[in-house]
Amino acid sequence: MNPDLYARNTPERFWRVLNDPAPSRGEWEEAARRAASVLPPAVRGHADDMPSLLAMTLGEGQFGPRHWEGGTAQRLYYAVKPAIPRALTRGLRRLYGDRRARMLQLGWPIEPRYAAFQLGVMGHLLRITAHAHLPFLNFWPDGRRYALVLTHDIESAAGQRFVPQVAALEEDLGFRSSFNFVPELYPVDRDLMADLKSRGFEVGVHGLRHDGKLFSGREQFMRRAARINAYVGEFEAVGFRAPLTQRQPEWMQALEIEYDSSFFDTDPYQPIAGGTMSVWPFELGHFVELPYTLVQDHTLAFILGETTPRLWLEKVAFLRSVHGMALLLTHPDYLRSARVWRIYSDFLQVMSERRDFHHMLPMEMARWWRARAQARDVRELPAGTVAEVTEGGGADLPAIRCGPVSPNDSSWVA
161: in domain: yes
Over residues 36-84, the pLDDT tens digits come to 999 999 999 999 999 999 999 999 999 999 999 865 545 555 555 555 5
Using alpha carbons, list the distances in angstroms from residue 93 to 48, 193, 215, 366. 39, 33, 21, 32
Give me the numbers of helices (H) and strands (E) for the chain, helices first please.
Answer: 15, 12
Q: Rounded CA gap, 196 and 190, in Å?
A: 10
Residues near 30 by beta carbon (within 8 Å), at least 6 away in sequence: 124, 128
214: in domain: yes
Name the residue range of residue 301's domain: 141-367
CATH code for the domain of 177: 3.20.20.370
**pLDDT at residue number 411:** 33
CB 15 within 8 A of CB 122: yes
123: in domain: no
Q: How many CB atoms lie within 10 A of CB 172?
A: 10
**pLDDT at residue number 69:** 86
CB 363 within 8 A of CB 239: yes
Q: Rounded CA gap, 41 and 99, in Å?
A: 20
414: in domain: no
269: in domain: yes
Beta strands in 113-200 (DSSP E): 133-137, 146-154, 178-181
Q: Are strands 239-241 and 282-284 parallel, antiparallel or unpaired?
A: unpaired
Over residues 319-372, the pLDDT tens digits come to 999 999 999 999 999 999 999 999 999 999 999 999 999 999 999 999 999 999
Q: Rounded CA gap, 271 and 37, in Å?
A: 30
299: in domain: yes
Opening angle at CA 254, ends 250 and 258, nearest 5: 100
Using alpha carbons, list the distances in angstroms from residue 227 to 184, 194, 200. 10, 21, 26
CB 303 within 8 A of CB 97: yes
| Residue 178 dihedral angles phi and psi, to the nearest 5° | -105, 145
Query: Does position 94 have pLDDT exceeding 90, yes or no?
Result: no
Amino acid at position 324, single letter:
G
**pLDDT at residue number 1:** 77
**pLDDT at residue number 403:** 63
Over residues 248-265, the pLDDT tens digits come to 999 999 999 999 999 999
Query: Does position 409 have pLDDT exceeding 50, yes or no?
Result: no
CA-based nearest residue to 258, from 154, 368, 359, 148: 368
Q: Rounded CA gap, 403 and 388, in Å?
A: 9
Strand partners, 282: 289
Over residues 180-234, the pLDDT tens digits come to 999 999 999 999 999 999 999 999 999 999 999 999 999 999 999 999 999 999 9
104: in domain: no
CB 213 within 8 A of CB 221: no
| Residue 359 dihedral angles phi and psi, to the nearest 5° | -100, 130
| Residue 98 dihedral angles phi and psi, to the nearest 5° | -60, -40
Share of residues in the chain with pLDDT > 70 (%): 88
Omega cis (within 30) before 135: no
pTM across the whole model:
0.93
Amino acid at position 40, single letter:
P
Q: What is the tally of structural domains in the chain?
A: 1
Using alpha carbons, list the distances in angstroms from residue 256 to 140, 206, 223, 245, 389. 26, 14, 14, 18, 37
38: in domain: no
